[in-house]
Amino acid sequence: MKKKILLLSLLFQSLMYSQQDAWIYLTDKENVAASISNPITILTQKAIDRKNAQGVVIDARDVPVTESYITQLKAQIGITVLAKSKWFNAVHVRGSEADINALTVLSFVDYIDFADKSLNTGRPSVQQSKFDTEEALINFVYGNSQVQIDMINLDNLHVSDYTGDGITIAVLDAGFPNVNTMSAFQRLRDNNDLLNGYDFVNRTSNVYAYTGNSHGTLVLSDMAGFVQDQFVGTAPDASYYLFRTEDAATENPVEESYWVEAAERADSLGVNIINSSLGYTTYDNPNYSYTPSDMNGLTAFITKGANIAAEKGILVVNSAGNSGAGSWQIVGAPADAAGVFSIGGVDASGNYASFSSRGDASQPTLKPDVVAQAAGPYVINQSDNITTSNGTSFSSPIMAGAIACLMQALPSMSPNQIKQFIRQSASQYSTPDYFLGYGIPDMQMALNLALSVIEFETVQSKIYPNPVNDILYVQLSSVSENTEVTIYNVLGKVVLQQKLSELNSSVDVSSFSSGLYMLSISSNKNSKTLKLIKS
């Protein structure tokens, strides 16, 4: 009997693995020039406005995949079309190796990239696990969410009425059951901030149906949940699109393609922030799996897609992963992308959570970027109950919501500027590591740093670079004989005072210890002060 079961199991695996996944890259697109010259035909006005405000060029990547090509692919023997990507001008298909290779006879097929890299004989392309779960003045009573809010000093932004209003967040996750009926999201619905979404796995607009997993509901709660005097998410007044891209029942690279499709949809809709509490490293078919060395910010399909999303002006926030205590250890895709703001995890006391995935020297930028509470944060489950959970799946939305509040306060700042101010505000900015990255952010300090820069730019003065290593450059619109720069340490003690007699001057701070300082420039007429960080 056992032998029969074993044989059936082997037969099932053989049949399952005989079906291959591949990306079909296409040669061209229709009506590219016409679409770019009339972008409202391919993007929403909000997306166009966001790109214009950030100086992001609308290009051929914004033009949809040619539908007639997709129709022809669907008509091919043994081929199932599962997803498409306008950014890559590619279509994700499934079929036998022979049937997929036969697609090369089609004139519009440029090249084929199998998920099983050993099958690639032509032009090569490069592509863990599952979603990252261990499983006017406003005065909120945060209740259960107090610690996770206080840890990043977000309450001060809320008090100043920066609660995410006017910022749109796309949540890419595994399932969002009951979000349309739960009382915890009543505030969201009453304010018309629940913008619906799409299930890319089942190809349906019913994104609230239960599909075997409620991970997305929990993730959303840490941003958008609100229970009077008991729980407040980090951005209760932001607007949200919900996109299901993760099939919790299986591990297959098509989920990467779903993710890229959703990111493209988010871009077209003018979304400001993507939160993705997902990560990919290994698959059910081991031939599709990545290795830790592939987490280099360049290889995975989803990583490359996330970088394009960042290029398009979206601030992409992604959980670092929960592999820190296992053999894998390092952050997975797409958190390895240079353009992604990757969030690791700490406990309620601010100590490194041992499961939080770590950075690695092979990655293009320091990972994780920053951390928030991942061990024991409060969430709201699909039964409308406040409870706790574990995983960087939750530190990510905690930060994504906080970023929405900061973005609301700084409408003229680009996503890259906002990310840098958050890094600069973090607890170990001067001494980052692969466990906590730059550390725990202080959102009020990030806002102050940004406002200081804005204030100086307003009076046509510029202090750079900030953070500074050795030489600080001071560019002024005018000087007098009494113009001087004064730098104070955190105790208020003067550590440098220097007269400025020219419009362009330099200040040597190479002898300063790393840390935070206050810099003041004064003259007979006025004075300006800003925070200065010595690296």
Hey, CA dihedral for 6, 10, 12, 13, is it positive or negative? positive
164 Rama sector, left if φ>0, alpha if ψ -120 to 50, beta otherwise? left
User: 485 and 519 in contact (C-beta within 8 Å)?
Assistant: yes
| Cα gap 474→493, rounded to integer Å | 21
Catalytic site residue from 35, 268, 276, 393 = 393
- Which residues fall within 8 angstroms of residue 424, CB to CB, at 6 or more apart? 438, 445, 446, 449, 466, 467, 533
Tell me the three state secondary structure of residue 370: strand
Rg (CA), the chain: 25
Stated as kind and residue range, the H or E segment containing 67 is helix 67-74
| Cα gap 327→129, rounded to integer Å | 12
92 noted as active-site residue: no
- Angle at 437 (CA atoms; ends 319, 457), nearest 5 degrees: 100
Q: Specify the length of the chain in residues.
A: 535
Token digits of residue 425: 């505000």
User: 128 and 333 in contact (C-beta within 8 Å)?
Assistant: yes
Q: Is the peptide bond before 64 cis (omega within 30 degrees of 0)?
A: no
Catalytic site residue from 113, 125, 145, 215 = 215
Distances (CA, A) of 118 to 24, 34, 122, 356, 381: 16, 40, 11, 31, 42
Quote the strand ranges of 307-438, DSSP E: 315-319, 340-346, 370-373, 375-380, 386-390
The alpha-helical segments, DSSP class H, found in 198-332 are 215-224, 254-268, 301-311
- Which residues fall within 8 angstroms of residue 497, CB to CB, at 6 or more apart? 484, 485, 486, 487
Beta bridge partners of 112: 24
Using the structure block, give the residue that is written with the tokens 């004075």. Answer: 527
| Cα gap 151→194, rounded to integer Å | 27
Nearest Cα to Cα of residue 222 among 348, 340, 374: 374
Q: How many CB atoms lie within 10 A of CB 187?
A: 19
Distances (CA, A) of 293 to 131, 322, 327: 20, 17, 13
215 noted as active-site residue: yes
Determine whether 133 is exposed, middle or buried from the number of CB atoms within 10 Å of its CB (0-12, 13-18, 19+): buried
Catalytic site residue from 173, 193, 267, 294 = 173
User: 21 and 94 in contact (C-beta within 8 Å)?
Assistant: yes
Tell me the one-letter amino acid at 148. Q
Residues known to be catalytic: 173, 215, 393
